[in-house]
Chain A
Amino acid sequence: MALFDEQLGEVRRILADWREGAGAREFSAGERAPWPEGQSLVLEEDTALELGNPSVASLSLLLWSEGGDVEDGRITLVGPDVPEAKERNVPFAQVVIAGGSFASEYDSYRDARDAVYDTRLHGFSVRTMPSRQSIWCRVARVAREEGFSLVDLGAAFIEALKSLDEVSAAQVVFVTASVEDVKKLSGAAAGAQRIVDAMMKMYQEENFDCETCEYQEVCDTVMDLKMIRKKLTEGKVP
């Protein structure tokens, strides 16, 4: 089983349900002019819309696939977009899926992750907490007045990811519909984080003693993690 196969399968099943129930709207990354970049501090008093405040549900997932099944350039929105949101504070999930060839998993993961982390847009602040898979964003009043949309954010992610050598396709799903909808992705998010944690631990600590490792059960189910371990131990032990 490839690194994120199980989580990709789960996300696709949930996405299919949303699409079937007419709860999802589809957009293309190229359909709007790129939103300007910018490092933004958005204070509460300047905020038009808050997405994923720690007091409500939020989730952030980054997955990749080498199977050629990524819907390149597709941005799916489940729930209200920025101009339509009636509440000032909405739950938020963000799923970013990269497609391509990821031979060096650790470097590829970090490249893709950094591309997402480093995407900064004018009038939009974003904060992420990897261990909680949380994301917390604010849209400034000025950005909402200028027409900022989650489609702009998705397009910026897709552009950033596709600038990487290893990425040939990317798609993004945003969920703002309800806490329940966001929570549907929590299993996939937690699973993906366990895999990333296991991979990072292998590379950073170079400890290959499975008997003492808290991620043993993750590696037992994810074939690619075993292959990473094999690669590392072969490189380590002549």
Chain B
Amino acid sequence: MILSVCGKGGVGKTTVSAVAAQALSARDGVRALIVDADPAGGLGMALGLTPRKTLNDVRKEIIEEVKAGGRDEKDLAVSLDYLLAEALTEKGNLAFLSIGRPEDVGCYCKVNVILKDAIEGLAGRFDATVIDAEAGIEQVNRKVMSPVDYVLLVSDTSAKAVRVAETIKGVADSMIGGEDAGLLVNRAREGREAEKIRMGTSLEVLGWIPEDDTIRRFDGEEISFLELPECPAREAITAALEKTGLL
């Protein structure tokens, strides 16, 4: 099961992804890959995990391998597998991979194809994968999310955030096709706010997350969400994740 958490910037995707990681970390016998696909890199911070190497570092090393010559696709594929393993930060049953921030230019399409294939291969070895996507539609548009089984759309109660979620769903349907998707409304003051959104959107609304002082404290004090105790927000997110089939 590969679940991608998508939505407009600032709506709480990283919090939802972090709670998903926390919920998976508590499951016996489940091995989960957690991918921070947002170059801003907030998920690692939320989980208290600092990657030694990012996917962008891996990409640069693979480009160097290609430039050096003398490597066929098989050599590059096994090299990529090795470098990806180096880039995984493990904690218990979780393996965390951060995309990092590309700062160079250039097109290496062949490498990017291998990279995408390898990420698909990596996710295939885990029982569950959660991807905290970059804000907006870029990664969906570029089919980075093509292996995803479920698109978990997150919005706050603003009409703008709900429209962005609808746009992402539309792009996912046309570019990738076939995934299930649902909307999780964050920072709702009460169920009526979520109900109002449900009436005004074609998206399936999975639930709503209340404002929660525990979440605020964990964010403010940089405490790892892997330590998050039971709280209303965690309960709401977990309930929504159960509907997606991730849990």
Contact = CB atoms under 8 A, between A and B. Distances in A.
Partners in one complex: yes
B239 interface: no
Interface in B75-132: 75, 78-79, 81-83, 85-86, 90, 92-93, 95, 125-126
B31 A43 contact: yes
B69 A130 contact: no
Given A127-B85, A130-B75, A130-B79, A204 B70 contact: yes
Nearest to A54: B86
B70 A197 contact: yes
B146 to A, nearest CB: 22
Interface residues of A, number: 24
Interface residues of B, number: 22
Nearest to B76: A130
A64 interface: no
Contacts of A39: 125
Nearest to A44: B90
B82 A200 contact: no
A27 to B, nearest CB: 27
A130 B68 CA distance: 12
A45 B30 CA distance: 12
Given A41-B126, A43-B93, A54-B86, A117 B71 contact: no
Interface in A105-161: 110, 113-114, 117, 127-131, 134, 136
A134 B82 contact: yes
B86 A113 contact: no
B72 A204 contact: yes
Contacts, number: 56
B92 A130 contact: no
Contact of B82 (A41, A129, A205): A129
A85 interface: no
Contacts of B81: 127
A163 B74 CA distance: 20
Contact of A201 (B69, B75, B85, B95): B69
A198 B70 CA distance: 7
B180 interface: no
A197 to B, nearest CB: 4
B65 interface: yes
A90 interface: no
Contacts of B126: 41
Given A127-B78, A130-B78, A131-B79, A45 B92 contact: yes
Interface of B: 31, 65, 68-72, 74-75, 78-79, 81-83, 85-86, 90, 92-93, 95, 125-126
12 contacts: A39-B125, A41-B125, A43-B93, A110-B72, A110-B74, A113-B74, A117-B78, A127-B78, A129-B78, A131-B71, A197-B70, A201-B69
Given A128-B79, A204-B72, 6 more contacts: A41-B125, A45-B93, A114-B74, A128-B82, A130-B79, A201-B70
Task: Report, nearest first, the 4 A-B pairs whose CB atoms are least far apart.
Answer: A197-B70, A41-B125, A200-B70, A129-B82
